[in-house]
Amino acid sequence: MAIDLTAAASPFLYRSVQDRIKRYILEHDLQGGDALPPETRLTREMGVSRSSVREAVKALESLGILESRPGRGLYVRPFSLDPVLDNLAYSLLFDRDSVVELLDVREQLEVGLLPLACGALTPVQLELLHGLVHRQREKAERGESPLEEDRFFHRTLMEATGNRLALKLLDVFWVVLLRARGRSLAVDEAPQRTWRNHLRILTALERGDAPSAQRAMAEHFTDIEERVRRAVPRRQPRPGARVPVPAAGAPGSPEGAG
């Protein structure tokens, strides 16, 4: 099967080769586990150097699109967002505004999916949730921050929904928060309120009251957002960058302050 792709001149030729390999996968409807032509054939039919193909392949491997099997060649990897989300977790460490936006997405997912958890939680999961809330309360009374229990409380709810993407996004959020916490020493300053929020959510779920559970979760996120704002520093403007000046009468301007 010939590769009907024309060579493209580019200062970053391997990027062009990446795009052409991806287009080839789409045009030939290749699925996870399907083989690509050998590297020598890609080089010849694209009219590019072997090094350009190799750089492009390495980049596509890092994105989780291709995998190189020693002695067997190049294959399309089964679809997964894991590599993209792992890179997202790293990049968010340096931008508080994006972390807050991720929290907004997380809130919409957790609150919106909570009715699914309400009808799907098993007795084992309910027992686990009670145990987590109990340990949170004990730690809070000792003046400790029950961060791990907090994390697994939310994770258990998402596991019950069966939505793997929501679960992965939740993991990304916690990776960012835990690393930011390590840098800034921010902790949950209101652990008593946190375990009580969780208990309200759990109590509503146990009686099958999804709307009440959603309201309790939404209120809980108000506290979480404050923790994130403390834990992740606000991005500072680059030296020499222009700082926007609020228009007269706008919030933040002298005329709009009050």
Give pLDDT tens digits for 127-178.
999 999 999 999 999 988 888 899 999 999 999 999 988 888 888 888 776 6
d(CA 25, CA 40): 17
| CATH number of the domain residue 61 falls in | 1.10.10.10
If one counts the domains in the chain, the total is: 2
Give CA–CA dist 149/134, Å, rounded. 9
pLDDT > 50? residue 247? no
Q: What is the pLDDT, as a whole number, of residue 87?
A: 66
Residue whose entry in the numeric block shows the structure tokens 């190189």: 68
pLDDT tens per residue, range 36-85: 998 888 888 888 888 888 889 988 888 788 988 888 889 998 877 666 66
Looking up residue 123, the CATH number of its domain turns out to be: 1.20.120.530
Same domain, 25 and 117: no
Q: CA-to-CA distance for 120 and 118, rounded, in angstroms?
A: 6
72 lies in some domain: yes
Q: Examine residue 207 and state whether it is found in any structural domain, yes or no.
A: yes
Domain closes at, from 37, 53, 76: 76
CA distance 162 to 167: 8
DSSP 35: B
- Token pair for 178: 């835990």
Instruction: Judge whether 244 lies within some domain.
Output: no
188, 186, 180: which is closest to 147 by C-alpha? 188
More confident residue, 98 or 159: 159
Q: Please tell me the distance from the alpha carbon of residue 128 to that of residue 66, in angstroms, as a whole number.
A: 39
**CA pair distance 1, 26, nearest whole angstrom:** 14
Helices marked H in the chain — which ranges?
Answer: 13-27, 39-46, 50-62, 82-92, 96-120, 123-141, 147-161, 164-184, 191-206, 210-231
Which of 177, 169, 124, 184 is CA-nearest to residue 150? 177
Task: Report which residue type is found at 174.
Answer: W
Q: By residue range, what is the domain housing residue 23? A: 13-76
Q: Is the pLDDT of residue 212 over 90?
A: yes
Please name which of 196, 210, 199, 194 lies closest in space to residue 160, comparing C-alpha atoms. 210
**Helix, coil or strand: residue 69:** strand
Q: Which of 25, 26, 44 is nearest to 36 (CA)?
A: 25
The one-letter amino acid code at 52 reads: S
So what's the pLDDT on residue 145? 80
- Helices 39-46 and 50-62: crossing angle in degrees, nearest 10, is 120
State whether 133 and 191 are in the same domain. yes
Residues 218 and 107 in one domain: yes
Beta pairing partners, 69:
73
Give bridge partners of residue 67 from the DSSP assignment. 75
Same domain? For 143 and 225 the reply is: yes
| Selection from 151, 157, 152, 173 nearest residue 100 by Cα | 173
User: Residues 217-226: pLDDT tens digits?
Assistant: 999 998 877 7
Taking the whole predicted model, whether its pTM rises above 0.85 is answered as: no
The angle formed by the CA atoms of residues 81, 84 and 90, to the nearest 5 degrees, is 135
Pick the more confident residue, 16 or 102.
Answer: 16
Secondary structure (3-state) at 49: coil
